[in-house]
Amino acid sequence: MTGYTTRHVAEILGLTEERVRSFARDGLLEPERGPGNTYRFTFQDIVLLRAARELLDRDVPARRVRSALLGLRAQLPVGRPLSAVRVTADGARVIVRDQDTAWDPETGQVALDFAVSELAARVAPFAPDAERAEPGDEELSADDWYDLAIDLEAVSVDKARAVYGRTIALDPGHAEAHLNLGRLLHERGDLGGAESHYRQACAARPDSALAAFNLGVALEDREDGAEAMAVYRRALKLDPNHAEAHFNLGRLCEAAGDRTGALQHLAQYKRIQERGA
């Protein structure tokens, strides 16, 4: 069983261990159970606990704290790291924002303002390590390790890469793990490693426009424009409204001297962007 212990969470948030356990007993969180029936918390649990602590410190009634946390838990992004999220107050609403979207779980008038990235820095020293498995870890499925890797992206990219690797070791056809590991390698500048994992994601999920698009970007970064164009076209067959694929393909068409193709794809990119505005 991986995750953060009650002691870890207490140190990270500056709470007593008993207060952390009381939050869990009161149903404000739903932590897993580890060896000896001890609590094991996720990074998302820590984000929720930070919000709960601040709300209670500001004398918000427990009933409204519970309502706020239920709303936050339901609206936090799924399947991607939380490190870009900021929790703030806006009048009578709690606002959860990331780079693209804003959510507003209903609560009362509160005063919250913290970036999850700041919390992630405090969590990092306690982040689970795939290379130091604990008793019971062997019982985790590939999807369990994948979920942990998403959690870890917010606090330790190196550990996240290792855990995505463990996911793939258990399930070599785990397309999402290949995609995310490819992205992390891509961001580090390891274009060969990124391309390899994107190709494996494409093989595991031939219907994934995202896998094809990411592969196209890696090929383009490796200056293989001809194959990148072919892969972008494959992505567009799977998702004709993939705006970025139209944009990138338009640029490559222009570089190849295909002005008509460039204009078509850039015009389609503009139409999709305007529809989404």
> Tens digit of pLDDT for each residue in 204-244?
999 999 999 999 999 999 999 999 999 999 999 999 999 99
Q: What is the domain range of residue 107?
A: 6-125
Residue 98 forms part of a structural domain: yes
Instruction: Decide: 12 and 46 in contact? Cβ < 8 Å.
Output: yes
Mean pLDDT value of segment 63-75: 67
**What integer is the mean pLDDT of 22-44?**
77
3-state secondary structure 36-92: HHCEEECHHHHHHHHHHHHHHHCCCCHHHHHHHHHHHHHHCCCCCCCCCCEEEEECC
Number of neighbouring beta carbons within 10 Å of residue 72: 22
Output the six-digit token pair for 41.
Answer: 């918390």
Our CA angle for 113, 117, 118, nearest 5°, is 65
Domain annotation covers residue 200 = no
Gap between the Cα atoms of 20 and 49, Å rounded: 8
Position 13 pLDDT exceeds 60: yes
CATH of the domain at 57: 1.10.1660.10
Using pLDDT thresholds of 50, 70 and 90, give the confidence band for residue 49: confident
Q: Would you place residue 73 in the very low, low, confident or very high pLDDT band (cuts 50, 70, 90)?
A: low
The CA distance from 235 to 46, in Å, is 37
In-domain check, residue 177: no
What is the C-alpha separation between 206 and 200, in angstroms, rounded?
Answer: 10
pLDDT of 167: 93
Share the mean pLDDT of the chain. Answer: 77
The answer to whether position 25 is within a domain reads yes
Whether residue 46 lies inside any domain: the answer is yes
Question: pLDDT: is 26 or 183 the higher one?
Answer: 183
237-270 per-position pLDDT tens digit: 999 999 999 999 999 999 899 999 999 999 999 8
Residue 133 lies in a domain: no
Residue 237, CA distances (Å) to 201, 224, 271 in order: 17, 20, 17
Write down the residue that tokens 């060969």 correspond to.
192
Residue with token string 């390790």 = 145
pLDDT tier for residue 83 given thresholds of 50, 70 and 90? very low
pLDDT (0 to 100) of residue 154: 73
Say which residue, 63 or 247, is predicted with more confidence.
247
Query: Residue 77: its pLDDT value, please?
Result: 54
* Confidence (pLDDT) at 44: 75
Q: To the nearest whole percent, how much of the chain has pLDDT over 90?
A: 35
Please state the domain count of the chain: 1
What's the pLDDT tens digit per position in 102-155? 444 443 333 344 555 566 666 666 555 555 555 445 567 888 888 888 878 877
pLDDT of res. 100: 42
Asked if residue 87 is part of any domain, the answer here is yes
Question: What global pTM score does this model have?
Answer: 0.62
Please report the pLDDT score of residue 111 as a whole number.
Answer: 39
In a domain, 108, yes or no: yes
